[in-house]
Amino acid sequence: MRTLTVDSLNPAIKNVQYAVRGELAIKAEKYRVDLKDANHGLPFDKVISSNIGNPQQKGLDQPPITFTRQVAALTEWPALADLAPGVFPKDVVARAKELSEEIGSIGAYSHSQGVPLIRKSVAKFIEERDGYPSDPNQIFLTAGASAGVTLFINMLITPPNSGILIPIPQYPLYTATLAQYNGIGLPYYLDESSGWSTSVASIEAALEKAQKEGVAAKALVIINPGNPTGAVLDETTQEELVKLCEKHSLVLLADEVYQANLHQPEKYTFTSFKKVVSRLQSPVPLVSFHSISKGVSGECGRRGGYFECTNFSEEIIALIYKMVSIGLCPPVSGQIGVDCMVRPPKAGDESYELWKKETDTTHAALKSRTRTMAARLNALPGVFCVDSPGALYLFPQITLSAKVQEVARAAGKEPDAFYSLALLDETGICVVPGSGFGQKEGEWHYRLTCLCPGVDEYVGKLEKFHKGFVEKYGL
**Contacts to ligand PLP by CB under 6 A:** 53, 144-146, 171, 173, 223, 227, 255, 257, 291, 293, 300, 305
Q: Which of 150, 158, 138, 177 is nearest to 218 (CA)?
A: 158
Q: Which CB sits closer to ligand PLP, 136 or 148?
A: 148
Q: In whole angstroms, how close is the CB of 375 to ligand PLP at the nearest point?
A: 24
Helical axes 332-342 vs 90-103, angle rounded to 10°? 140
Residues present in the chain in total = 475
Q: In whole angstroms, how close is the CB of 129 to ligand PLP at the nearest point?
A: 18
Q: Which CB sits closer to ligand PLP, 415 or 438?
A: 438
Q: Which of 453, 457, 454, 436 is nearest to 445 (CA)?
A: 436
Helical axes 200-212 vs 235-248, angle rounded to 10°? 20
Q: Give the CA angle between residues 278, 313, 208 to the nearest 5°.
A: 70
Instruction: Give 457's contacts (C-beta < 8 A, 6+ positions apart).
Output: none
Count the neighbouring beta carbons within 10 Å of the beta carbon of residue 163.
Answer: 21
Q: Which CB sits closer to ligand PLP, 215 or 300?
A: 300
Q: In whole angstroms, how close is the CB of 171 to ligand PLP at the nearest point?
A: 4
Q: How many CA within 13 A on the CB side of residue 398?
A: 32
**CA–CA distance, 228 with 196 (Å, rounded to integer):** 10
Q: Which CB sits closer to ligand PLP, 67 or 289?
A: 289
Q: In whole angstroms, how close is the CB of 224 to ligand PLP at the nearest point?
A: 9
Q: In whole angstroms, how close is the CB of 255 to ligand PLP at the nearest point?
A: 5
Assess whether the previous peptide bond of 344 is cis (omega < 30° from 0). Answer: no
Q: Which CB sits closer to ligand PLP, 291 or 427?
A: 291
Q: Which CB sits closer to ligand PLP, 121 or 146?
A: 146
The radius of gyration computed from the CA coordinates of the chain, to the nearest angstrom, equals 23
Q: Which of 300, 443, 435, 440 is nearest to 17 (CA)?
A: 435
Q: In whole angstroms, how close is the CB of 417 to ligand PLP at the nearest point?
A: 20
Q: Give the CA angle between residues 13, 17, 22 to the nearest 5°.
A: 125
State which residue has the least CB distance to ligand PLP: 144
Contact at 8 Å (CB) between 449 and 52? yes
Q: In whole angstroms, how close is the CB of 153 to ligand PLP at the nearest point?
A: 12
Contact at 8 Å (CB) between 63 and 328? no
Q: Which CB sits closer to ligand PLP, 172 or 415?
A: 172
**CA–CA distance, 35 with 44 (Å, rounded to integer):** 9
Q: Which CB sits closer to ligand PLP, 2 or 58?
A: 58
Q: In whole angstroms, how close is the CB of 340 to ligand PLP at the nearest point?
A: 15
Q: In whole angstroms, how close is the CB of 24 to ligand PLP at the nearest point?
A: 16
Q: Max alpha carbon distance in the chain (Å)?
A: 69
Q: Give the CA angle between residues 116, 331, 312 to the nearest 5°.
A: 50
Q: Which CB sits closer to ligand PLP, 89 or 172?
A: 172
